[in-house]
Amino acid sequence: MDIKKIISQMTLEEKLSMLGGRDGWHFYGVERLGIPDVRVCDGPHGVRVHREKAEEYDPATNFPTASALASTFNEDLLRLTGETIGKECRHYGIQVLLGPGVNGKRSPLAGRNFEYYSEDPYLSGKMAAAFINGVQSQKVGTSLKHYIANEQENSRLFISSKVDERTLHELYLTPFEMAIKEANPWTIMGSYNRINGVYGCENEHTLMNILKGQLKYDGLVVSDWGAVNDKIESHKHGLDIQMPGPVEITERLRQAVLSSEITMANLDDHVERCLRLNERVFKQGQTIDIDLDKNHKIAQEVARESIVLLKNDKILPLKKNSKVALIGRFADDQVRYNGGGSSWMKAYKIERPLEAISSRAKVIYAAAYDQEKTTPKLTQAALSAAANSKTVVFFTGTTASMESEGFDRSSINLPKQHLELLKKIHKVNPNIVVVLNNGAALDLREVLPYAKAVVEAWLLGSAAGEPIAEILFGEVNPSGKLSETFPLQLEHTPAYGNFPGLGDEIVYTEGLLTGYRHYDFRKLEVMAPFGFGLSYTSFKLSKPRLSKTVIEHDETVDIRFDVTNIGKREGSEVVQLYVKDKVSYLLRPEKELRGFKKVHLKVGETKTVTMTLGQRDFAYYVPHLGRFVVESGEFDLIIGTSSRDITSITPIQVNSPDKVRPHLTLEYPYTQWIRYPHEKTQVEKLIEMTHKPQWWEAEPPLSRWLNNLKHELNWSEEKLSEIKKMLMEEE
């Protein structure tokens, strides 16, 4: 496609039409020039296919939600997920999938946390990049969302996220930046909210300066559906397409171009990005056949690795053919497999854990509740089942009305009547395994004392029944790790008391200290740390071996260590590498994730893991320099199996030409000048010279020295004269 030539042949009306959608699910093409429309659809966890001529949906594979996907810590599996969804898009003629989401997790109360990968920006970036590469390998575009600082649902259409520049770059931009550099999503979706007072879809700083400027993003920016506040301001400042359509070409828009308020170069850039997307995606008629049963098995594979074993007091794995009381409708006709909102889809096949567990054990089933509520009759049936069984498997979690797009959670507690029932069951049978179905962190204080095992099964998609049963009966060894911290209580969370905020502004007062960064810095105990997950076997990690102990600017270092399965079962371990800056000018978190690897090992097997770190892995964003820099000094390389389960700490010296601390000026007090070696030396030299007779006339070198100091400290001529006069008076 000769994009420049096509643009030269387009009329003004054709160019303007491309700035908006044809309808709710199509971007405009140029029919006269043979450029077809582009069809898009929802579905970060599977394609939601709107039939073209009916208000119906076609079936597709429903994968686990993002928080579960990230708990696999397996980039290869995320790419496979993306490839599979991409193929289903091809089958149904979908050319852009609206996802994935990489927003942060300031609070576990955020309603769409289940749609976002992790509290850690590095893990989110890696998972997103792998997924995007998978989808786009099928010539189907993705739409990375929601750009940016869209961390709550409450008042999302007008709330202003007030976030400082350093926090914005280090936490909330990082996953977008990683995904752009490692996968280049073909579209990015602008968010509803305002960022520091300016709407996300018309924010020149975030769209033009950062996204299209600093990050050199060459794809197109599409608004979230209904997120455009002002059409002219949006197209002036970086938005390419307004959705949904049909979007009218207003006279105001036409006049904005004719008067050069929106320049022709700006308009042509928007059109070029639209045509570039059209060039990248598959064309109509290039659909493929799919095998939904095969794809369902892939979803099972992903679900297996998403499950996290949080507690096990020697009750799991269960013995086959044992007598099991299976309690809770989440295991049957109310199976919880997805959150609400735009990620809802029509699943091809929905597995029920009841069926999978019943094929392995003698099950007495009790419905126990209807969503959140139980009754005396249901309670009595559940207690009877528990009393007449060896083991109880109790399904609980959040309900459909608790986690969804459109609203935030009111608490992180499980339904009150579920907890009351659990305590009653414990009195008749303490051998309880709790299976959790939820999309984000929970308060488990009223669960752990009453359960001998706790299985975090997330919202595992429609292929969850068999994987849950396989984990419970030991056919599969659990290998998932928490993609977010489970706090002891809501009051300990980073944004407590400041989420979702009041009025039309929310201030990110916690700054960099979210997730495990917050709990580490505040020295808070947690229910379960980031990166945590148990196994039915045991692993041992050796001391790391570094390729070098000192690295210079632009060099990398390889960290190698051995992982051995010292237990009695085959299994997988997720090893994690964190970096700690021991001394820094600006405050930094206690440690930050910079690498991970899932390693599968047979009994007694050892494998060597290699991770490589570069300068960016040691860097942080310095606002007064406007970029990421590395501060020379000693760092710790921290290896462990969670953010709290650390096996080794190894120092490394990192040298860099970057100067983080700004030069001092006369506005700084004397105590600041003598605090730092360079300035202290200058002050001492100055003092020494002023004690010499007729020092100013007799010492021409002093004049040269002051002039040098002037340039170094960026003094004005007035400041130089001021200090000369001051020193002369002293003499």
> Picking from 114-128, 153-167, 418-432, 683-697, which range would have the lowest pLDDT averaged per residue?
683-697
Instruction: Count how many Cα atoms sit within 13 Å of the Cα of residue 705 in the half-sphere of its side chain.
Output: 17
pLDDT of res. 336: 96
> Picking from 217-226, 648-657, 674-683, which range would have the lowest pLDDT averaged per residue?
674-683
Q: How far apart are CA 516 and CA 646, in angstroms?
A: 14
pLDDT of res. 730: 44
Q: How far apart are CA 589 and CA 521, in angstroms?
A: 7
DSSP assignment of 509-528 equals TTTT--HHHHHHHTT--EEE
Arithmetic mean of pLDDT over the chain: 94
The per-residue pLDDT for range 456-486, each reduced to its tens digit, is: 999 999 999 999 999 999 999 999 999 999 9
Confidence of residue 710 (pLDDT cuts 50, 70, 90): low
Instruction: Name the helix (H) or strand (E) containing 407.
Output: none
pLDDT of res. 43: 87
pLDDT of res. 664: 75
Q: How far apart are CA 199 and CA 234, in angstroms?
A: 9
> Picking from 103-112, 257-266, 280-289, which range would have the lowest pLDDT averaged per residue?
280-289
pTM of the entire predicted model? 0.93
Residue with tokens 């935030």: 408
Instruction: Please compute the mean of the pLDDT values over residues 19-38 and round it to a whole number.
Output: 95
The gap between the terminal CA atoms of the chain, to the nearest Å, is 77
Fold for the domain defined by 3-280: TIM Barrel (3.20.20)
State the catalytic residues.
224
The per-residue pLDDT for range 64-88, each reduced to its tens digit, is: 999 999 999 999 999 999 999 999 9
pLDDT of res. 698: 47
pLDDT of res. 711: 62
Fold for the domain defined by 539-654: Immunoglobulin-like (2.60.40)
Instruction: Please compute the mean of the pLDDT values over residues 174-182 and round it to a whole number.
Output: 98
Instruction: Please compute the mean of the pLDDT values over residues 21-41 and round it to a whole number.
Output: 95
Q: Is the pLDDT of residue 454 over 70?
A: yes
pLDDT of res. 695: 47
pLDDT of res. 676: 76
Sign of the C-alpha dihedral, residues 484, 488, 494, 498?
positive
pLDDT of res. 689: 63
> Picking from 137-146, 222-231, 527-536, 687-696, which range would have the lowest pLDDT averaged per residue?
687-696
Instruction: Please compute the mean of the pLDDT values over residues 110-134 and round it to a whole number.
Output: 98
CATH of 303-484, one of 3.40.50.2300, 3.40.50.150, 3.40.50.1700, 3.30.365.10: 3.40.50.1700
CB of 564 closer than 8 Å to CB of 606: yes
What value does the CA radius of gyration of the chain take, rounded to a whole number of Å? 29
What is the CA 448 to chain-centroid distance, rounded?
A: 28
Q: Is the pLDDT of residue 691 over 80?
A: no
Domain extents for the chain?
3-280, 303-484, 539-654, 670-730
Q: How far apart are CA 539 and CA 553, in angstroms?
A: 35
Q: Is the pLDDT of residue 275 over 60?
A: yes
pLDDT of res. 321: 97
